[in-house]
Amino acid sequence: MHRSRNLPRQRLALALALVLLPVCGLTPAGCGIELRSASQPPPTTEVSSVPSSGPRRLVELPLPPTDPLHVVQGQTVVSITFDDGRKSNIAAARMMTADGLAGTFFVNSMTIGTKGYLSQADLVEIARMGHEIGGHTMTHPDLGELTGDEVRRQICDDRENLLGWGFPIRSFAYPFASASTDAETAVRQCGYNSGRSLGELRTHRPPPNVDPMLSCQDCALAEVVPPADPMYTSAPAQVRSDWTASDLQQQVLDAMSVGGWIELTFHGLCPTDCNSLTTPQTEFGDFLAWLAGQQSAGKLLVRTVGDVIGGPVRPPIAGPIAPPAPPGANGVKNSGLEQLSDGSPVCWLQASFGRNRPEFSLSSDSHGGTTAGRLIMRDYVDGDAKLLQSTDLGHCAPSVSPGGTYTVSAWYKSTAPTSFSIQFRHGLGRWAYGLNSPTFPASTDYTLATWSLPTMPSDVTAVSFGLALAENGELIADDYSLVDDATASK
C-alpha cells in the first residue's frame, strides 16, 4: 500500500511530471521501444543482439567516507539534488563545481545514453568533479503501483548497473516520491543507505492549485540529522520553473531559522531544457553564488546526500529473476486480454512509430472469452502500430532462456496483411526492436497466426510481441501465446 500520510500531496505536487517530463518507463512502451521514430525497421528473420550482457566498467573512483555528517544544534545542511538524469544536468554540475559546491544526481540507468538524457561520459565527468551519482530505479515507474518482485528488480537492478559502471552508489530517490512498504524495504535490501521523498517539508512556494489542507504548510521546515527514517527522508516539494533565486534562497533561509537538513530537488536547466519543472539557468546560477557565499561565511554546509547520511558502499544485490514458463506452457500473461485496469488490458501496451494515425480499442468480437484487441490504422505513410506485452523487468514481459527456441501465435481477423513485431530485453534490462515475422494475409474469419522464433541470443532475457499493421486497415486479435518448443539447450 502507499503511505496514506504522503500520497495525496505527492499526487498533487508531482502530477505535472507525468505530462511534461516523460522518461523511460512513463511512455507506454518503456525504454527501447521505437515509439514514433522516423522510419520502420526493415522486416527481418535475423535476431539482433546488443553487445555486452552486463554493465561495462566506465570509471574507477575512490570510496567515499563512511562517517555520517555531524552537525551541532541549529546548524543547517543543504543538499542540491537533480532527478532523472536529463541532459542539461551536465551544465548544472559544471556550474556547481565552479562555485565549489557538490550535489547528488539521481539517475535511471535505462535512460543513460538515450535522447534527452545524460551519456555515460557525462556521468563519468559529473562523478569526477566530485558530485554523487544516486539511483532512481531502472525506468522511473510509480513504485507504489508495482508488485514486490518488480519493485525489487527496479531498485536492485538499477543499482547493480550503476555500481557495475564504477559509481559508488549509496543514495536513492523515489520516482514521484511514491513509496510503499515493499519499496522502502527494497531500498534497504538492495544496499542503499537512504531514500528521498518529496513534499514532506513546508515548501516556500507550494505548487499551484493545491488544496491548502494538502499543501504541507504545517509541516516542519527541515529534516533532522540523522533522519528518523533514512529510507524515507523528508524534503520540500520539487523546484518548478516559476521559482526564482529569491524563492530558493528563502527555502534555505526558512530551514536556517530552525536548523537541520534540506534537500532541494531540481530536474533540469532552461534554456536548453525548458518545461514546468526545469529551472532558468540564470536563476540557478544566482542561487548557487548566494549559497556558496553562505557556506564561505560559515552560515551553512552544502553536502551530498551520501555524505550527510554516511555509511559504506554496499555490494550489489540482484533483483529476483522472473523465470520463463515451463516447456509447453503459455508464457503470455493475460493472453486473452480479459483482465482490465481503467479500461485497458493488464500487462499490455500500445506501441507505434512512423507517420500514421493508429486507434486502439477493445472489441467484443473475441476469439475466446469476451474481449479482443482492436487496432484501426488511418493516414498511413510509414511505420507500424501494434499491441505488445508490457516491456517491464519481469512482472508482465514473457521471460525466455538464452539458447531457447519459442513459437509465438495469436488468433486474428484483419482487412490488411499483418505480421508479428518482436522486441527483446537484453542483459542490462534495456528493450530494443528485434525482428518482424513474414506477413499473414488478411482474413474475414478468425485465423491462427503462428511463427517459430529464431534461437534466442545469449544476452536476451525476455520477449514482447504483437501483431502489427503497416498499412491502413483494421485488425482484431486475441488469445496470444508464447511457448517454449523444449528444444533449447538446458
Within 13 Å and on the Cβ side, how many CA atoms surround 12? 16
Per the listing, cell 483494421 goes with 474
CB 78 within 8 A of CB 473: no
The SS3 assignment for 363 reads strand
CB 334 within 8 A of CB 440: no
pLDDT in the model for residue 213: 60
Within 13 Å and on the Cβ side, how many CA atoms surround 260? 19
pLDDT in the model for residue 22: 40
Per-residue pLDDT of the chain (490 residues; tens, 9 = 90+): 334 334 433 433 343 333 334 444 333 334 433 333 323 343 333 333 333 445 789 999 999 999 999 999 999 999 999 999 999 999 999 999 999 999 999 999 999 999 999 999 999 999 999 999 999 999 999 999 998 999 999 999 999 999 999 999 999 999 999 998 989 999 999 999 999 999 999 999 988 877 666 678 889 999 999 999 999 999 999 999 999 999 999 999 999 999 999 999 999 999 999 999 999 999 999 999 999 999 999 999 999 999 999 999 999 999 999 999 999 999 999 999 999 999 999 999 999 999 999 999 999 999 999 999 999 999 999 999 999 999 999 999 999 999 999 999 999 999 999 999 999 999 889 999 999 999 999 999 999 999 999 999 999 999 999 999 999 999 999 999 999 997 444 4
CB burial of 287-307 (b: ≥16 within 10 Å; e: otherwise) equals bbebbbebbeeeebbbbbbbb
Torsion of CA 207, 208, 212, 214, to 10 degrees: -40
What's the chain's Rg over C-alpha atoms? 24
Q: Are strands 301-302 and 171-173 parallel, antiparallel or unpaired?
A: unpaired
Per the listing, cell 491548502 goes with 212
CB 466 within 8 A of CB 199: no
State the sign of the Cα–Cα–Cα–Cα dihedral 373, 436, 56, 103. negative
Residues 324, 486: Cα–Cα separation, whole Å? 12
Torsion of CA 384, 388, 390, 394, to 10 degrees: -120
pLDDT in the model for residue 10: 42
pTM: 0.87
Domains and CATH numbers, the chain: 71-309 (3.20.20.370), 340-484 (2.60.120.260)
Count of CB atoms situated within 10 Å of the CB of 271: 10
Within 13 Å and on the Cβ side, how many CA atoms surround 4? 0
pLDDT in the model for residue 26: 33
pLDDT in the model for residue 208: 81
Count of CB atoms situated within 10 Å of the CB of 240: 21
pLDDT in the model for residue 38: 27
Q: Are strands 76-83 and 301-302 parallel, antiparallel or unpaired?
A: parallel
